[in-house]
Amino acid sequence: MTSEINDMIPDATAKELILAFADDELCVGQNHSWWIAVGPFLEEDLAFTSIAQDELGHARALYSLLSDDIDLVAYGRPHSQYRSAHIAELLCHDWPSALVRHVLHDLAEEIRWTAMLDSTWLELRTVATRALAEEQFHVHHAVSLVKRLLSTSEGHMRLASVLNELAPLGREYFAGSDVGLLASGVLDASLAEQERTWMKRVEDLLDEFELDIDWGVAIPSQGREGTRSKDFSALHDEMVAVLRIDPLASW
């Protein structure tokens, strides 16, 4: 059995799933890093920056499963070859959006890593185990902040509309193909099951604050197919601003 697991070679679908996950992490890590030194208070600056580093670290670990040249994969593709969910690309330069995306993203991320914990792709399993340990802190941070803010009338007023706007976009975290990935043991929960778990967790979180999300009927964007959101271009320009000066130089 062990030798069978060791021999597992990820197929194109598995690689595409990992690329999409890595791109989500790259974009969110990049976006979180915008908040350094301008958060609501110093402790929050520190927490957000720490989470940004973790997310970028996850992106790095996931890209390393696909290529030895991590920066080339992370930064060297044309826009249409990125696979990020649009919610991950949003700049979120206002605190309510940044916080709401943080909670939606990390609740999703925890579920996504959990589905890889027993993966037959052993390198992925190792990455998932390490990432999940960090992820629990991210979820705790996001959920406790959101709960405390929603318990006040001001916080409720500021966050409710943003939650309604962004939560449906979060469904895209679970978009893409998982054909054959359960059978081969790369995942132990389908993307559709993961999506249902996530929606339930979001609903449970918001339930006590009398917030109902209108999830819509379909996943609202095509980030996984190569269509980029309106914010991606600005985000990507920043990512590669220095690399572009001389792509062949070592920085």
Partner 1 sequence: MDEFEEFLDEGGIVEPNDDMPEAYRSAIFSFIEMHANSEYMGGLTERDWIPRAPGLRRKMTALAKTQDEIGHAHLLYMVAADLGVKTREEMVTDLLEGRTHFHNVFHYRVHSWTDQIAVAYLVDAAALASQQAVFKNCSYGPYKRILRRVIAEEGFHMRNGEEMLLLMARGTDVQHQMMQESIDRWWLPSIQLFGPDSKPDDELLRWHIKSERNEDLRDRYIQKLVPQLLGGGFSIPDPALRQDSEDGKWKIGEIDWRPLEEIMRNGGPDSSRRISDARRAWYDAEWVRAALDEAAKADA
Largest separation between any pair of C-alpha atoms in the chain: 58
CB 47 within 8 A of CB 141: yes
Considering only CA atoms, which of 49, 31, 158, 134 is closest in space to residue 87?
31
CB 9 within 8 A of CB 179: no
Q: Choose between 9 and 248: whose C-beta lies nearer to partner 1.
A: 248
Least separation in angstroms between residue 122's CB and partner 1 is 23
Q: Which of 154, 210, 212, 214 binds partner 1 (CB under 8 A)?
A: 154
Q: Choose between 7 and 154: whose C-beta lies nearer to partner 1.
A: 154
36 is an interface residue for partner 1 by CB under 8 A: yes
Q: Choose between 34 and 215: whose C-beta lies nearer to partner 1.
A: 34
Residues in the chain: 251
What mask, x for binding partner 1 by CB under 8 A, covers residues 39 to 68?
Answer: xxxxxxxx--xx-xx--xx-xx--x-----
Q: How many CB atoms are closer than 10 A to CB 162?
A: 18
CB 162 within 8 A of CB 123: no
CB 112 within 8 A of CB 50: no
Instruction: Catalog residues that contact partner 1 under the rule CB under 8 A.
Output: 26, 29-30, 33-34, 36-46, 49-50, 52-53, 56-57, 59-60, 63, 70-71, 74-75, 95, 145, 148-149, 151-152, 154-155, 158, 238-239, 241-243, 245-246, 248-251
